[in-house]
């Protein structure tokens, strides 16, 4: 057995320049700032304008993370892009690799909706702990604005675009202290962005499916109940594996979907509000990007310090959910 651990040594984030606040959004759909902010905590979101690609925004976030980690793109062994909205269905991690000039790396996409960053963190850590790779770039990025029905007030008010990235490096002491990954495909229909094809005749007797992806559909109440029940369970299980108690958590960093979900989870776990990291008022739900964007902001503001213990949890379509207890940076 090897004795290799992982450390998170750099973070970066990027969002499109254009933002749309609740008041302006309510000019195109029947909603209002009061409804959106009181039910969700969201006030603003950034939207990619059609010329901005996911890979370009993710590359910018990655460059910032790589600079903070004080390594060069040539040092990166593996790039994982957690996304559900790749620029190319064949994957966008390769485009990011090209734009970064990370010639030695192998790059692939990972799809687990809003749980993508947590699933990616655990996946990356396995490659490091087996001794295979030393430096991994993990990105969470999504442009859900491409796939939102902008006439559906139940969903369009919730989402925004962006990307966040972290650098994970091999080290002696493992800073990933415990984790739990879960999925439940029997509840898949609660939240979808699915392909809908029509049988189209290619030649006599042979049909193929032609169509496109349909806008996001969501049973909001079901997702709300699922998150409030499953997220605390996953965090408790991760804490158990880390041999830690809730009191040892410095920061609760949840997928930024809804302030009410964050408050309810914190209350169930008995974590005081001042330990809850929240920036969804500015960005809305950025799917796989929300955890690394919030982490990066908290690190750059000096809130999260080296050695701090973070309980992070993602949840979303699949259904998927997961939690990870980790320490930021290297404190010794
Ligand atoms: N503006 C004004 N009124 C609205 C809006 C809006 N934007 N949206 C819905 N309403 C109305 C509805 O029409 C309904 O009116 P009615 O009673 O006359 O029919 C009323 O408000 C209540 O609607 P609900 O859908 O029941 O509202 P709810 O209290 O459940 O809140 C919400 C909706 C905010 C979406 C909540 O259910 C939620 O946050 N769920 C979790 C969603 C989530 O976290 N998703 C992330 C998944 S991440 C991923 O994988 C992409």
Task: Supply the DSSP string of 128-160, one letter for each residue.
Answer: HHTTS-SEEEEEEEEEGGGG--TT-HHHHTTB-
- Taking only the tens place, the pLDDT of each residue in 91-132 is 999 999 999 999 999 999 999 999 999 999 999 999 999 999
pLDDT at 1 over 60: no
In the predicted model, what is the mean pLDDT of residues 138-161?
98
Task: Decide if 114 is catalytic.
Answer: yes
Q: Which residues of 78-103 are buried (b: 16+ CB within 10 A; e: fewer)?
A: bbbbbbbbbbeeebbbbbbbebbebe
Report the chain's mean pLDDT, rounded to a whole number. 97
pLDDT of residue 332: 67
In the predicted model, what is the mean pLDDT of residues 255-268?
98
- Tokens linked to 298: 């908290």
pLDDT at 310 over 90: yes
Question: How does residue 2 score in pLDDT terms, banded at 50, 70 and 90?
Answer: low
pLDDT of residue 35: 98
Rounded distance from Cα 318 to ligand 1 centre (Å):
19
User: What percentage of the chain has pLDDT greater than the value 90?
Assistant: 98
CA distances from 308 to 65, 118, 293 (A): 18, 18, 17
pLDDT of residue 331: 83
Strands of 40-153, DSSP E: 44-46, 78-82, 106-110, 135-143
Helix axis angle, 54-69 to 93-100, nearest 10°: 50
Rounded distance from Cα 154 to ligand 1 centre (Å):
5
pLDDT at 72 over 80: yes
Cα–chain center distance at 61: 13
Which residue among 114, 135, 156, 258 is the active-site one? Answer: 114
Task: Decide if 285 is catalytic.
Answer: yes
Strands 191-192 and 176-183 turn out to be: unpaired
Is the shortest distance between the CB of 257 and ligand 1 below 6 Å?
A: yes
CB 88 within 8 A of CB 95: yes
CB 286 within 8 A of CB 279: no
pLDDT of residue 170: 98
Strands 78-82 and 106-110 turn out to be: parallel
Is the shortest distance between the CB of 224 and ligand 1 below 6 Å?
A: yes
pLDDT of residue 221: 96
CB 330 within 8 A of CB 7: yes
pLDDT at 256 over 60: yes
CB 145 within 8 A of CB 159: yes
111 by DSSP, 3-state: which? coil
In the predicted model, what is the mean pLDDT of residues 42-53?
97
pLDDT at 298 over 80: yes
Among 114, 174, 169, 136, CA closest to 313: 114
Q: Which CATH superfamily is domain 177-186+217-327 in?
A: Thiolase/Chalcone synthase (3.40.47.10)
5-176: CATH topology is Peroxisomal Thiolase; Chain A, domain 1 (3.40.47)
Is the C-alpha dihedral spanning 142, 89, 319, 96 positive or negative? negative
Residues of CATH 3.40.47.10 domain(s) within the chain?
Answer: 5-176, 177-186+217-327
């Amino acid at each position: 057995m090897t004795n290799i651990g992982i450390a998170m040594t750099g973070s970066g984030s990027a969002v499109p320049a254009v933002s749309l606040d609740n008041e302006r959004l309510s000019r195109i759909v029947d909603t209002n700032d009061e409804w959106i902010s009181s039910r969700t905590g969201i006030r603003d979101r950034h939207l990619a304008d059609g010329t901005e690609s996911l890979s370009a925004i993710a590359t910018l976030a990655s460059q910032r993370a790589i600079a903070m980690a004080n390594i060069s793109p040539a040092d990166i062994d593996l790039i994982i892009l957690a996304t559900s909205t790749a620029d190319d269905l064949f994957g966008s991690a390769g485009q990011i690799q090209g734009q970064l000039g990370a010639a030695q790396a192998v790059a692939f996409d990972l799809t687990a909706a809003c749980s993508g960053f947590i699933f990616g963190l655990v996946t990356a850590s396995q490659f490091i702990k087996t001794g295979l790779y030393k430096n991994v770039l993990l990105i969470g990025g999504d442009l859900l604005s491409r796939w939102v029905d902008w006439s559906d007030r139940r969903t369009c008010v919730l989402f925004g675009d962006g990307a966040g990235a972290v650098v994970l490096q091999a080290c002696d002491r493992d800073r990933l202290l415990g984790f739990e990954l879960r999925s439940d495909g029997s509840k898949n229909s609660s939240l979808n962005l699915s392909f809908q094809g029509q049988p189209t005749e290619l030649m006599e007797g042979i049909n193929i499916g032609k169509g496109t992806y349909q806008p996001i559909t969501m049973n909001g109440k079901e997702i709300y109940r699922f998150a409030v029940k499953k997220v605390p369970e996953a965090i408790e299980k991760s804490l158990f594996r880390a041999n830690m108690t809730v009191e040892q958590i410095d920061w609760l960093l949840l997928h930024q979907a809804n302030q009410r979900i964050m408050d309810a989870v914190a209350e169930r776990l008995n974590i005081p509000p001042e330990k809850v990291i929240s920036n969804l008022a500015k960005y809305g739900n950025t799917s796989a990007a929300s955890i690394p964007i919030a982490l990066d902001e908290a690190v750059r503001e000096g809130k999260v310090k080296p050695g701090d213990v973070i309980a992070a949890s993602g949840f979303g379509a699949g259904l998927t959910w997961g939690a990870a207890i980790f320490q930021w940076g290297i404190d010794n």
